[in-house]
Structure 1
Amino acid sequence: MRIPQRLIGGAVAAALVTQLTACGTLFWPDRRGQIEGRIDPVVAALDAIGILFYVIPGLIAFGVDFATGAIYLNDGKTAQVSPEKLQPAVGRDGKVDNLKLQAILESELGRSLPLDDPRLIQHKGSVEQLAMYGLKPAA
């Protein structure tokens, strides 16, 4: 009799954990960091199902997906800029000047990117990543 109770408890715990992590963030982590776009109906439906079963975790899932941008569909466009062209935006102390970076990206990509947007997720790099691109750390 004790084993079925553990299985049911484990299933309920797993369902709650998956709802707390948010569907879009869990299933499509590469979408995180998007600021706007079309809403993915699959992610919205999965989050809505979470609201049907567990109201608070479902609302949290929607909030997390909107906050991280994982609920938005990818527009299918990608862009790359060579590291050498980005070097003028990096100061001697290793800090990035957002105004210079924005000007470089706008001239290279032809698009204005909102680098001062508070929803923008910035990732910190490492010395190994710089070496991979053939760059030497200045600091």
Structure 2
Amino acid sequence: MKKVRLAEIPSGENGNVKTIGLLAEGEELPRPPPATLSSPRLHYCPYCAFTTSITARLTEHLRIHAVKKPFPCPHCSFQAVQVESIRAHIRTHTGEKPFACAHCPYRSTQKGNMKRHIIKHHFVVAFAK
């Protein structure tokens, strides 16, 4: 019985691809289990392992796989697929650092950098949203 590729995704800088799975010709894709009260219904990205219970988040996530990048930087040639990515990028041009450490004078352009700083330098694991 002939096997067909289910999906392929890039797996490294060398251009190789990773086959997510194989199906027999005519075989249907496996269905996720139905949602229950203890497990919310998940939405799956067809290109990678991303899952979410919120439809809008899947829609936003799918843009990272798109070729078209609808948010251009007004200062350089950078283009982003998500509006939050372009906002963070523009801060590299403006020098704005809206995230301030509560323990020292450190400031950062992105929240993730602030979280990493606090964990590394102040040994505080919990970080409020």
Settle same-fold status: TM greater than 0.5.
no
Answer 1 or 2: which has greater strand percent: 2
Structure with greater helix share of residues? 1
